[in-house]
Structure 1
Amino acid sequence: MFVAGLLGCGSPASEGVATTSREVGAPTVAATTREVTTAEAPTIAATSVESEASAPPRPPLGVGPLHHQEPAPWPDPPRWLAVGGGATPEFNQVSIEQDLLLAEEVFGDGGALLFAGGPGSHGVQVEDAAPRGDPLVATLAELFAPRGGRTATYRPTLTNPSSAATSSSALEAVKLAVAESGPPLLVYLAGHGERGDPPRDGGLSLWGQTTLRVAKLAEVLDAGQRPAQVVATSCFSGAFAELVFARADSEAGPAKPLRCGLFAATAEREASGCDPNPDRAAQEGYSLHLLNALRGRGRGGEALPPAELDLDGDGQISLLEAHARARIASEGIDVPTTTSERWLRATAPRRGKSRTAALPEEDAVIARLSAALGYVGREAEVESDFRNVLKDMADAYARLDAASGREDTAYRAAAAELLARFPVLDDPWHPDFAPTLAAHRVDIAGLLADSPQYAEFRAAQADAATAQGEVAELLARSAKLERLVRALENRTLAGRLKARGGAAWSTFEALLACERGRP
């Protein structure tokens, strides 16, 4: 992706900024997503006549479950459910597993985990410490079929899940958990998000290339007897804020039983995380802040003064207080949101009288971000400055689109030149691919080294990577500013809704109470 540890929790279908297509010849396997940056691509100087034998030794290959693992027992009823992992091993980065293991530790006994391919599965993606494999094959793959995961290996999961994390298993688990009345069920969702238009069509990409849709989850919760607290950490996870409504439909009124939630990003934005680098110090994601805050710690696990986290002074750290910590401290691109924010934007008057509402979490976010960004006493300037940043981002996206177009054009020319002499090099599954590579690798490497078309492709690729980096930097720079803008809006809208009163204000108070619960 753009910057390690910053982007990466959107599904391949959703990450339009970082994708491209290869249109010469028949489609190759997984040729539709670009997650390999220029820094990851081998240079042609390294490909001349090197063989795979000269590369570092491979780790043991994954060949399915390495051992029999009994599924973890199902608690009856569970206090919490954690569901996550990638749709395929390529999107099952180690940081997702690490976040789920931390969630298990923080939430304690009485829960159930659904993870990726299930018990004994071999599919957690871990970044390689050094390059591996045949450099010439890597060059051809980068040209014809770029995809993520080629600079990583895969290992068995360290989790002990109750089952695989597919859409059907997740919905069935929730259905069983809410079948009878009881305290709120905490549902923790981790992985790659899918953007929806409308948001209720969005969701979480799960194992087996299935999707947990917001609307389907609402349907199951609507039929249940327990209230729910939903925490989602993926890109576009704010789509799950639609669960505040019956059927996830803003025209249907508030859900009954009540549902609240905390989300890493708005329904329109990507989130930090989904990192194949196992070094937690190199990661930056909502889960690291939220889960560590719940146990009184900072992102890196260091103990924090109670006043940093206990914003209402009641001696405990609530989900909403931990969420506020993520909004304040994150250096990533996350713009976290909640169901109470969604309710405000659906029901609060846009003008009129106002009464002061007790919102210690918003007050803390406003005070600390204003100080960090230099807006103390200048809050009136925040919105106009944010509009300027949005304009800069639009310009950066336009440059990225143009650079991506040039890269695609250059790719077609380079691919055509290569395929004119070696017709099967875009299909590693063809029976003639390996013999062609073995017999002609010197000629293939020489053509690439001398080709003006391939040189233009590499230059265009580098320009696109630079443009991607500019977008990533602007997303990170704008995130804190947008968090401050939203916090100021929340305080204003809550004041107007309190002045109006009535059922909508009562529902807002109930949502806050739910979000302020302990896991």
Structure 2
Amino acid sequence: MSFLSDSTTCQNRPTPNFLVVGGGGSRESNEIALEKNLLYFQRTLRTFGYNPAEAIVFFANGNDGGATIRYIDRLGQQHFKSPEIPHLRGGATGENLDRWFGEMASTASRRPLFFYFTGHGLPQSLILWGHESFTVADLSRQLDRLPRETPVVLMMAQCYSGSFADFIYQGGDRARPLSPQTRCGFFATVASRPSVGCTPLIDEADYRDYSSSFFAGLSGVTRTGQSVPSADYNGDGRVSYAEAHGFAKVDEQTMDWPISTSEAWLQNRATEADRDRIFGGAIATLLSTARPEQEYVVNSIVSQFNFDRQASLVENLSTLPESEVSDRVQAAYLMRLQMELVNIGMEAKLRAAGDAGAIATLDRLLNCESGSWQ
């Protein structure tokens, strides 16, 4: 059995290779929201004019007919059912992933790869069916089988997903140089934290998670079919991955701290002195070097808390009533603001320093993150 899809075009665009992996490690952790996330992804493909059959989908136990998806009905009763995902190619196993990457390597395809994972994770690892571990290093080794000219974009929503930002390095090891292959990604939260969204409840109108917001921003359509304001913040006629990521930072009302590869790279370079300087400067001054999607995030959260843009973050926080940050969602929005200000401030510092190598690395990541399905 081959997992390869035919190379097609959509509105004169080469179809990316869409690789979609989801589900829990066992039926007890295989919540119905994970199945519904894949169905929403397929609807999003159709929104862009892509054929969902072109996406390679591996989910949980695959097509063996087992009732492995856990859900709770509106009466509060727990049930299990079989996967009902169109065009499902098989189970979410290391064997299937190895076979798919091997087939891709044999074709020497240079088509872009978009890899979406929705499931569970541990630091530096995805959890596949049967509680099989698939690490950052495993992913890096599989990607190394593809041509260097194949650009790769990850979108991951599992707990500790930010640890996969290290896949940009050779062997997935931050101590080694960048991979020669163009790689970037977007993650529900930072490497040290769990994320939200794996629910057995069936009403999608109540779902609040990073991937729901990311794909709503990217496509302009929520998982329940509602239109959202355009995330084309730079007005170039398309929504980039980075813009969808910015949309999600504001739209997602959860405790998550979303992060991208370029942001993780910048955050890792920030010292305590850098953070003190950034948090002590006027927000409006920092915004003078921000990209449009960054400006949107900062202005949205600043407005949410009625902060003064002419004052610093430190000054604004000193006057913030404790009642306004009484829950984890509000606290998460404040952390997203801090992270965004660090992203902006560290990029400005790096460019002012004139380090050609560091600037080239950042620009490479930003160019990858500015890609789009349009």
Q: TM-score, normalised by structure 1?
A: 0.61
Q: Which of 340, 361, 366 pairs up with 1:512?
A: 366
* SS of residue paired to 2:58: strand
Alignment partner of 1:327 is 2:249: yes
1:164 partner letter: G
Give the deviation of 1:128 after TM superposition.
3.1
Q: How far apart are the structure 2 equivalents of 1:303 and 1:485? A: 29
2:98 is aligned with 1:154: no
Once the two structures are superposed, the pairs formed by residues 85-484 of structure 1 within 5 Å of their partners are 85-107=23-45, 108-109=50-51, 110-119=54-63, 120-130=65-75, 151-159=77-85, 160-177=87-104, 180-194=108-122, 196=123, 202-225=124-147, 226-298=150-222, 300-306=224-230, 309-347=231-269, 357=289, 359-377=291-309, 378-381=311-314, 474-484=327-337
| Residue correspondences, number | 340
Structure 2: runs of 5 or more not aligned:
8-15, 279-285
Preserved CA contact (<8 Å) 1:86 1:93 = yes
Deviations 1:450-484 (A, max 9, x none): xxxxxxxxxxxxxxxxxxxxxxx743231111100
Instruction: Tell me the secondary structure at the aligned position of residue 180 of structure 2.
Output: coil
State percent identity of aligned pairs.
29
- CA change 1:216–1:102 in 2 (3 A) is same
**What one-letter code is carried by the residue in structure 1 that aligns with 2:97?**
A
- Separation (CA, whole Å) in 2 of partners of 1:168 and 1:507: 33
Give CA deviations for 1:394-434 in whole Å, capped at 9, x if unaligned: xxxxxxxxxxxxxxxxxxxxxxxxxxxxxxxxxxxxxxxxx
- Point out the more displaced range, 501-510 or 365-374: 501-510
8 Å contact from structure 2 (residues 308, 316) kept in 1:
no
1:298 to 1:130, Cα distance in 2 relative to 1, 3 A = closer
State the 1:86 CA deviation: 0.6
- Which string of whole-angstrom CA distances, capped at 9 and with x for unpartnered residues, describes residues 157-181 of structure 1? 1113111001332244244335524
| Structure 1 CA distance for aligned equivalents of residues 133 and 156 of structure 2 | 14
User: Is the CA contact (8 Å cut-off) linking 2:3 and 2:100 kept in structure 1?
Assistant: no
* Cα distance, 1:219–1:128 mapped onto 2, change above 3 Å: same
- Equivalent position amino acid for 1:91 in 2: S
Contact (CA 8 Å) 1:177, 1:185: kept in 2 or not? no
* Structure 2 Cα separation of the partners of residues 480 and 224 of structure 1: 38
Q: Following TM superposition, by how much is the alpha carbon of 1:222 offset from its aligned partner in structure 2, in angstroms?
A: 2.7
Q: Return the offset for 1:368.
A: 0.6
Deviations 1:158-216 (A, max 9, x none): 1131110013322442443355241320000101111x2xxxxx221111111221111
State the alpha-carbon separation in 2 of the partners of residues 510 and 154 from structure 1. 45
Q: Distance in 2 between matches of 1:304 and 1:73?
A: 35
Higher relative strand content: 2
2:233–2:243: 8 Å Cα contact kept in structure 1?
A: yes
Q: Provide closer, same or farther for how the CA distance between residues 385 and 327 of structure 1 changes in structure 2, counting only shifts above 3 A.
A: farther
Q: Which amino acid aligns with 1:314?
A: D
Larger Rg: 1
1:107-161 per-residue CA deviation (whole Å, 9 max, x = no partner) reads: 3333210011012442111103335xxxxxxxxxxxxxxxxxxx51011211131
Q: Per-residue displacement from partner, 1:68-103 (whole Å, max 9, x unpaired)?
A: xxx996315661100010101111111111111111
Contact 1:272 1:332 in 2 (8 A): yes
Shift of 1:300: 4.7
Q: 1:223 to 1:504 in 2, by over 3 A?
A: farther
C-alpha RMSD of matched pairs (Å): 2.9
Ranked by relative contact order (alpha carbons within 8 Å, sequence separation 6 or more), the top structure is: 1
Matches of 2:37 and 2:366, distance apart in 1: 25
* TM-aligned CA deviation for residue 298 of structure 1: 4.7
Report the Cα distance in structure 2 between the residues aligned to 1:474 and 1:175, rounded to whole angstroms.
Answer: 47
Residues 341 and 116 (structure 1 numbering): CA distance in 2 closer, same or farther, change over 3 Å? same
Alpha-carbon shift at residue 507 of structure 1 (Å): 1.8
Separation of aligned partners in 1, 2:250 and 2:346: 20
Change (3 A) 1:174 1:73: closer
